[in-house]
Chain A
Amino acid sequence: MPKYLVLLYASEGDEATEQERWAELPLWRELTDGLRDAGLLVTNAPLHRTDSATTVRVRDDEIEMTDGPFAVTKEVLVGFYLLDCDGLDEALRHAARFPTARYGSVEVRPIMEQLPDLDAPGDDSLG
């Protein structure tokens, strides 16, 4: 079966907008579950905001790190890796190894592991 990368783009809203969007979480779950049940879903993940991104470039054998997302408009997305790392340093170390880092940019963006659980009760079980 051919595979497709489905990329979601949106403007980064303020906190109120984010809250509004998270209110649609049940709809997201329904969609994701539907795709999984149909055997179509390989993986998916929400990303942290671009201000937690780091862009890595290698120029003249020097690793350049920039805080924030890639900002060169003539560069387009050409591929992706989803890595399981011990922390940002390990992810950045590998990011600098991809040839793209030499002629383009490699953006390292953390995956949001925990979705805001708006109606879960506080956990008082630990003492």
Chain B
Amino acid sequence: MFREERMAVLATLIRQAGDFQLAEDALQDAFEAALAAWPRDGVPRNPAAWISVTARRRAIDRLRRERTTADRAARLAELVRLDQQEHPAAEEAGDIVDDRLRLIFTCCHPALDPAARVALTLRTVGGLTTAEIAHAFLVAEPTMGKRITRAKSKIANAHIRYRVPARDELPERLRGVLRVMYLIFNEGYSASAGDRLTRGELCGEAVRLGRLLVELMPDEAEAWGLLALMLLHDARRAARTISGGYVALPDQDRALWNRAQIADGLRALDRAVRFRRPGQYQLQAAITALHIQAADPDATDWQQIADLYGALGRLNPSAVVAVNHAAAVGFAEGPRSGLDRLEPLLADPALQHYQPLHATHADLLLRVGDRAAAAEAYQQAISLSRNAVERAELKRRLDQIDHR
């Protein structure tokens, strides 16, 4: 059975059984039963329906044995009623879509710890094993197991309802879901340590979740925007590092870019912007698209990129965006304009330890010919960097000053 089908069966069973753990255990029972029955009796015509009916019966068995479950009688009655329906598998297609959305929104509920939202989403929606998730996030398996179990027991004890948020809460809650997916993607994309292969799979997993979300919510511009952003970034994964060293976008070997995935990402972005509801993911995807679409780095439309960063900063002000905006202005209008933009940021005490600010400052100083000040700024950036690959790149730029 495909992972998508497993997830859909689980999503419905959680609603019917009223409990995450019970539904997961019952589904596991059903898969074990299938391992015994299918080789003997042949694979049923509709494997997903077989699994779903068997899992529901196992949930009934488990509930009968479990005496301390809250609302036990009511839940048992509901499961038994469903089991005795004449057409047990004949549920509306609409119900199935809703259940998967219910599952996604519950896993990403804001009352859960952010790390637990990520773990629970990968476990329950993505179908990854606890061991796989622990490995990808570089934590011990029992630690990850506890994190997931705790989240499930909070959902049960605190009565986090299994539902799609009402219209008035939907925008905020959807932002939360998108944030979880972006966190998963970034964990795979920007990690410098650990098993590269597994990290790359994390990006693939995030893209898969992104595709599922636009399938379930096709009218959400930002869901398309995030999918576009992830596809466009992920398409350049192979070109981002050469033997462990970081390669900045202008220096990347464009032959290593995944063209099919880029086309896919551009289609998603096109779909997103047609709603005319701009958002942070669409803007970021549009910036990435402009970088990618330039025939060569010198042909990059820096003015438009600078404008997009400006819009992004008005929508979501942050140091990251402000620094990138200054860098883009530096290319569009010249390094002096970029330095002017950087001035207020350099004066902000809260940003003194923000590494990218000093790296960008150094790049701009070098371009106006102030080598001594540039060297000093590079040194400051190097002392603030906690990432080996990034530090090596900054050292390389610093060394270049000395050899000019």
Chain A interfacial positions (CB closer than 8 Å to B): 48-49, 51-54, 65, 67-68, 86-89, 92, 108, 110, 112-114, 116-117, 120-124, 126-127
A residues in contact with B161, CB < 8 Å: 86-89
Annotate B57-82 by CB proximity to A: 1 below 8 A, 0 otherwise.
00000001101101011001100100
Tell yes or no: B46 within 8 A of A by CB.
Answer: no
Neighbour of B77 across the interface among A51, A92, A126, CB < 8 A? A126
Query: CA–CA, A126 to B112, complex, Å?
Result: 35
Binds A, one of B149-157, B200-208, B281-289: B149-157
Contact of B160 with A by CB under 8 A: yes
Q: Does B92 contact A (CB under 8 A)?
A: no
Answer yes or no: B250 CB below 8 A from chain A CBs: no
Which of B80, B116, B157 lies in contact with A126, CB distance below 8 A? B80
Binding site for A on B (CB under 8 A): 64-65, 67-68, 70, 72-73, 76-77, 80, 110-113, 116, 150, 153-154, 157-161, 165, 169
Number of A-B contacts (CB under 8 A): 63
In contact, A117 and B80 (Cβ under 8 angstroms): no
Asked if residues B153 and A67 are in contact (CB atoms below 8 Å), the reply is no
**Contact indicator B160/A88 (Cβ below 8 Å):** yes
Q: How far is the CA of A48 from the CA of B80 in the complex (A)?
A: 29
Contacts of B111 in A (CB 8 A): 54, 65, 67, 88, 92
* Chain B residues, CB < 8 A from A108: 158
A-B complex: 7 closest residue pairs judged by Cβ atoms: A87-B161, A67-B113, A52-B157, A54-B111, A48-B157, A52-B158, A114-B70
Beyond the given pairs A67-B112, A92-B111, A112-B157, 7 more chain A to chain B contacts, judged by CB atoms under 8 angstroms and listed by A's residue number, are A51-B154, A67-B111, A87-B161, A88-B111, A123-B73, A124-B64, A127-B80
Contact yes or no, B65 A122, CB < 8 A: yes
Least Cβ distance of A106 to chain B in Å? Answer: 13
Distance, CA A117 to CA B66, complexed state (A): 11
Q: Check A117–B72 contact: CB distance below 8 A.
A: no
Task: Say whether A110 contacts B157, CB under 8 Å.
Answer: yes
Cβ-defined contact, A122 with B159, below 8 A: no
In the bound complex, residues from chain A placing their C-beta under 8 Å from that of B110 are 65
Q: Which residues of A contact B76 (CB under 8 A)?
A: 123, 126
Instruction: Give the shortest distance, in Å, between A84 (CB) and chain B (any CB).
Output: 12
- Beta-carbon contact of B68 and A87 below 8 Å: no
The winner among B80, B111, B113 for most chain A CB atoms within 10 A is: B111
A108 to B159, CA, bound (A): 12
CA distance A48 to B150 in the complex (A): 13
Q: Which residues of A contact B154 (CB under 8 A)?
A: 51-52, 67
Question: Chain B contacts of A116 at CB under 8 A?
Answer: 68
Contacts of A68 in B (CB 8 A): 113
Instruction: A112 to B359: give the CA distance in the assembly, Å.
Output: 54
Least Cβ–Cβ distance between A116 and chain B, in angstroms: 5
Contact present for A126 and B73 (CB under 8 Å): yes
CA distance A48 to B158 in the complex (A): 8
- Which of A49, A51, A86 gathers most chain B CB within 10 Å? A51
The answer to whether B70 and A113 have CB atoms under 8 Å apart is yes
A99, B161: Cα distance in complex, Å: 26
Q: Known contacts A52-B153, A54-B158; decide if A117 and B67 are in contact (CB<8 Å).
A: yes
Residues of A within 8 A of B70 (CB): 113-114
Chain B residues contacting A48 (CB-CB under 8 Å) are: 157-158
- Judge whether B67 and A51 touch: CB under 8 Å: no
Inter-subunit contact B64/A88 (CB<8 Å): no
Cβ–Cβ < 8 Å partners of A65 in chain B: 110-111
Across the interface, name the chain B residue whose C-beta is closest to A126: B76
CA distance A52 to B160 in the complex (A): 10
**Can you report 27 A-B residue pairs in the complex whose CB atoms are below 8 A from each other?**
A48-B158, A51-B154, A52-B153, A52-B154, A54-B158, A65-B110, A67-B111, A67-B113, A87-B159, A88-B160, A88-B161, A89-B161, A108-B158, A110-B157, A112-B157, A113-B70, A114-B68, A117-B67, A120-B67, A121-B67, A123-B72, A123-B73, A123-B76, A124-B64, A126-B64, A126-B76, A126-B77
